[in-house]
Amino acid sequence: MSLPTAIQFRNALGQFATGVTIVTTMEDEATPIGVTASSFNSVSLDPPLVLWSLAKTAQSMPAYQMSGGFNIHVLASHQSDLSNQFARSSDSKFEGVDWGKCDQGFPLLPEYAALFRCKTQFQYEGGDHIIFVGEVIDFEEKNLPPLVFHSGQYADKKNKSKSDLPTEPSVDLADGTFSDNFLLYLISRAHFQTSHPVRQAGRNIGLSEAEYFCLSTLAINGALAEGDIIARLEHTGHIPDKEIFDRLERKALIEIEAEKVSITDQGRNIVVGFLAKSKTLDEKIKKHFTPDELSGAISFLQKVIDITGSDIPELW
């Protein structure tokens, strides 16, 4: 067996999938320092010890050697851009990053899959790296999928299929009951919960769901005849009638002219505000899934829509 080149050795090591961390500390109590590191690992449970390593040639090496501690942020799957930012050799790694300080004075990032706050216990020579061993004085875990690095690139964490999924019937027609693995119940509950912020916002300003559906339809499609609006919404259970059109007009949220209904600037502002609430929740939910999981979920829901909605018109 011939000795491998450095590149061959690195490629072989790349077959071991790792998580990705950003390790932060302070230089002279004034300058935040941070590096991306995939060398993080556990050492001991009692006492709680972890390690990571940094190249001896790194400009930030003196800061880590002298600071007395560091924060290790295990990145979530949606944070690859942040990982790239801290992996570059730059004096402005924290530019555009909303960070604070822990009670040790070290930089603390707002998002992570897990956080380990450490006091430096040992520093060891490790070839062309220094190995830092830290005692964990505090930690936090969030329910976010981790960012994974494998074979020189980011990868998605995939859970193996479970063989213990429920096999009993999800619906009991004899008793008129269903279990919590009933697919249509899960879809309905997910819709109910994710639409709750918009429903609540509407109630806060005295706007009914039918009124909101009417406004959002007009915001997206432009001016429509009353009959066209009704036709688009009749399958939703929120069908606007004459009273609703009159109420929206009195509120100056719509205008009716030449048998066409159009949304006013005030009405559009309400729709935009509600859409912003939905977008915020959308982004919050997506952080809990890997790109592959999101792609699968979108494909699944689109397929459900195709299967069940061939005779139902598009809302927007």
Q: What is the pLDDT of residues 8-57, one digit of tens each?
A: 777 776 667 789 999 999 998 789 999 999 999 999 999 999 999 999 99
**Percent of the chain's residues with pLDDT above 90:** 58
Cβ atoms of 50 and 42 within 8 Å: the answer is: yes
pLDDT in tens, 119-152: 999 999 999 999 999 999 999 999 888 999 877 7
pLDDT in tens, 69-96: 999 999 999 999 999 999 988 888 999 9
Question: pTM here?
Answer: 0.68
* Domains, the chain, ordered by start: 6-155 (2.30.110.10), 178-308 (1.10.10.10)
Q: In whole angstroms, give the CA distance from residue 188 to residue 111.
A: 30
